[in-house]
Amino acid sequence: IKSNILKEDIFGKVLAYLYTIEFQKYGLPHAHVLLILAQPYKPKTVADYDTIISAEILNKNSNPNIFNTVKQTMMHGPCGILNLNASCIKDGKCFKRYSRNFQKNT
């Protein structure tokens, strides 16, 4: 992925970048990445960002194993009334403000 971003310019010309890799639940790694793009490639509108960033949950029926793994390891909840012992509960409410409605756009 790093090569695609930096050498193939899939997001446009990268002037600078910074990243860190963290390990969380079950030792699975994930990265936080900051890209500084050349001016013509910088996203300026919500539509620009929507062409770059998206998230999708696979179909539960056609991909049950992947769906269950994502649900167990990458999705928040349940919390609130459904689970008052969740780590995000403070004074009876989820301090991360979940659950939230799914959005079509950024």
Q: What is the pLDDT of residues 9-65, one digit of tens each?
A: 999 999 999 999 999 877 789 899 999 999 999 999 999 998 888 888 888 999 999
The residue among 16 and 70 whose pLDDT is bigger is 16
Q: Can you give the three-state secondary structure of the chain, one letter per residue?
A: CHHHHHCCCECECEEEEEEEEEECHHHCEEEEEEEEECHHHCCCCHHHHHHHCCCCCCCCCCCHHHHHHHHHHHCCCCCECCECCCCCEECCEECCCCCCCCCCCC
Residue 31 inside a domain? The answer is yes
Counted domains in the chain: 1
- 14 is in which domain, residue-wise? 1-42
Please indicate, yes or no, if residue 103 is contained in any of the structural domains.
no
Question: Is residue 3 a part of any domain in this protein?
Answer: yes
Q: How confident is the model at residue 89 (pLDDT cuts 50, 70, 90)?
A: confident
